[in-house]
Structure 1
């Protein structure tokens, strides 16, 4: 019998040379030796909070949508805590914008997606069947967005980009209605009543002045359908946030309101009914709110597993719009001490962020053995925080307290070398020998208080540790604010040249025409490796490193949209066309995918004696670790046991040959497989136990396979 008849390759998913999987195993502790349970979850800036059962286990998981990165963050509920699970993020629609609200629209018990669109509110129905989320765009009479009946027939429900509507059952008829701010900017709230059915929703705008309230500016409201005081009302130029909940057990929906120009949230108690609301006053809410910049927004979800909804507070901004917002502490939970429809909120406590590395914004990682103990320590450049009325960057340090086989990190300081005293911000570090004296120096780009983004460096006095001189050198090498510089000897003349990731998407090569003690750079090529202008590649970050320890230098590009591109052995490449984009393995889909890490992103690499890692820092102020997939730990066979009628998958990081034997050692046959995931059929085998031996790249691994 020919083996090809019983061992049929149905399909193959090919892996490139760059193959990574998310890794959360490296321990990180605080200064007082408390372990961070979510160290590598990647940070949080400005999130909207929802819950949804992702994996069909009957327990709702946590779904965050971060406005600053336009990114979904997924956490699974495990043993009454939330564990970051990025493998689910790829299953959400890629066109989510402005807001994400999860509500059951059609009454099937599964929460659906409501999200922003330039023309209104877009809906995706949850059509999941099993443990993988799946969505279907819902059309409204061939419209991409929800339609409502207004004065002149059907029209879309138009929102400002930074508005967040309230979507709830306002009239108690079992379907969802919509509250939103009037788009024209008159400060009033529209009520769109759903007069249809769960299967066929039909919205009618019943009032353009719900509750008789008009928002007139920060902390200023007009009630009883009266007008704002002359010159007291601002036009609807900024975002407005609406949330409805019953706070006093009267069965009527009250209103939680905030707006982008204000640093407070307000509660308006409903003295009428949910449909025909009456408001007469607004009070600060909650009374123990922790102020953190402008536009705080509130979400109402149970996050402590007591079946009572809590209040979650986070900024509602798309980007930093002041100097006081602290994005490293930007998500708080107020525990509800009473019940869902009669609330009393405890003082705020940090939620999720207090268990992860989060430096605020623009986490730019770099590794160097600062204490000379033989393992790499972790440094993180930051965008900045306000200190003594000056917005400035600091350099964080986590010391590697593990060993060469198993790294672990401990927080040491958030202001290494007192870099904050230089009063620069937007700091992006790199360790390299800039003056070619045999010691590794600290080089960084940063923006001065005068607004100039310049390459700086501090020379190192030691060949074994990091002992920085106190004199900061400012070079004459300046770039635009968000552009990135990476130093590397491109032309191999012994001097560090520069690659610059430009605002227009190009990567420029700047040749070092100076000397070891007086470096200076001149532009040599405006499109290095033909990486020219591209709107999709604004301000690319750059890393040159031997990622897989094959003595060849690889090029990693981090993009504005949070994705990575990797070109292996870039010194022999003619252009960037062969760069790999699908570099992250998803254990659910069993595929490699393009992944948004929370853009823009910056990368660095480090290795233990056992493993190579790529560390990704992001706009959200956090880090994520990618572990290189290797042959030794990644030849697998699944499902196992397997029914003889079902497909079996062989997964490996290199091409090779699979040999099949009986348990008595009798050779049956063999088949060649490609790098990646091969789908095989064992239909001609009898039920029993078999040995699969995979040989490739000089290694051999054996796995048992049970066929029934």
Structure 2
């Protein structure tokens, strides 16, 4: 990986290319031009977009990894006053390990039984010299097993020496619980009666199996073969160089008698060490016989009704013929057991066996029954007995292989598990096998390749990751990535590693060499880092001498070439610089180097796994930390004590990743056994405490200190390496944070994001002092008043979040203080709606305005001078006046009638004014509408005499027919409840016709007469 600056520059360049290409493709699609291209060109454009996207993701990951490399703070030298400690790193159990170790055991003889009566199967197995218990801590559909030790340690029974013998459980005495029997060569069948809370060994005549004679390598199983609801006994052993089967019938009283049944003859040598199981594997209703043997196969005998007949052909699941276990190769001493482990209703197969050399990746093999007796082997993490083991020489390397933003696991190993890839899916590692793995078959054809120590970096700075493998034999092999496809590179002059030594690993097909051998080196663990800050990657290699070799990149960032310096002192890890390498502290052990900037000073520090030796009473294996006390251009390393991880297995190889997502780095350690121990960084986080009261920040008052009494604490006294203060709901350009600096901490406020970042390793007290000075200021527009709500002023709500990160970068306990930006109070003028008055010709109208005027601040006084004024008189010449709060409009002496207006102004004590129009209606004459049609159509339903109720309310209206007879008369006619609706005084409906009306007034208005037409 190149320098952070170079990666950032390359990222910006690729980002520009991606944006331009994406815009062009989008434009072509919208315009329709894209669909006029030939299919090949369309595919090429889309492929280029995908390729640029992948490279951007890779570069983004590399930038994140570069940042991650700066997230640990180093152990300071032990003789300094304030020693900083990483961690503590706590070794987690198998069940808590995401790359869990496999259960251990040799030549296991497993038997399934629900020991704890929790509804799922546990496993009891013969092991080296005791019965081992694998407790199911999962459930009956998703089992996961934990080694809880021997049966005697967990259940009360008297143990015997039981090396590699298969236990058998059955209710032998018919009391409802499961008893235990174990067949042994020297002691016959040992029987333990289950007494409910303990097991009691019964001997002599009390042992129902006392009279049964057995030979070497015996195995027994219980089966109700005769269907009488009690358990009979099937015994197998090795006799006269071959196998032997015997059947003993239970007569119902726990007396077992040898009985002849049509068992197959297994006396030839291929059936040595037989382990028989009777079960209906093919689900045809008849019991089948399965026998595990010393050789690598599982023999299958089908009950044809007349005896057990062996079928040696491949399994046909449709016809259910053949051997379901055809092709299964488990080396030797196979001990099968059938049990429905996944709760799907069919029998799965588990089997103990003797593993191949350096292939101890599982204590028990597991084959899931996929239906119709089709068995699929589950390996590594998919096997509840297995784990992420490589058999030997485990090397953990974490990198985002699939470009999804999470780190996957690339595990190096030895022999059959040289390179395995586990995809990180939501924090769970899932192995990618076969062609789905980008590393599938990449070692094919190499004549001598027994291990792999991977490094996956962009060695040529082209935006994708290349693979470099060290190995157990001192070789380095280079795989170049071209558009995410890895290809091994011929070891010639064009190979950047060509000058490191003679070529190795000839391809059996082409005759070309693909590896280089570092002379005098073996077990080559490598890492690449820009140790001299010249923009390209240099090479370091651990070796078997207990030191670390150095090869400088004499090429460029894009065309690397590695050479060993002629002057050994150019190696910053040379013996002349590192006393521990010179005095054989690492005891000529294999060294495993990893580089990362732990102390945040801009240069690469060293984490080294190795075996150390001081004297015969002080030695072991550990992970060590070497601080780079030099500069990025001139590295100088000093080993710190105590060790980072002081107690590990042989040849530890570290890999770092934030596995639990808490911000700090956890450590996986591979070892000689090919397993990966997991150490969780349980560093206590830094805690910031703040005043929780809300700050009322008045607009235009300048900066305000967020909390001058804020506290920062770290329970294990780590230094603080950075802190952030964030304005939530930030408005760029309107808000800012400021602080008072104090060496060695520096800070910068990002005006685009609202985040103040402080950096620099310093004590808790220094950071606390600085954070107490953080001040907030707002320079944006006045939030203003919120209208319509008394004494409410509009405000802006903000939250200021403080986070302090200690030397492990563990996600801290943050503290938040709320802040309200209060706008300047703006006086709101009085409120007054439009007003309408009415009067008659030469009359007057008055209204009290005080009840009609409201003021949200309550500062309107209608009696104050100038509170209500007239700013525009009526146009007719009428006189409007204000007396107190009463408005009067006087039309005396004027002949005006009709509608007009005037304007008034209401002002509060703060000078806020509101202007309002007052509309006036002056009524001048009585208007008679001489038509009526009371037919229910809602029009002209009554005799309408407009304004009569205003101008002449004291009146008398009379109506006459054509003969002069008065038919209707009413005093005080008002067009409302006193009116003519076509009915006579007697309530009779009058016919259509012409009528005569007379209207008389008592107030001096002249009498009105005329004709009225009534039409129905």
TM-score by length of 1: 0.50
Q: Which has the larger radius of gyration?
A: 2
TM-score by length of 2: 0.37
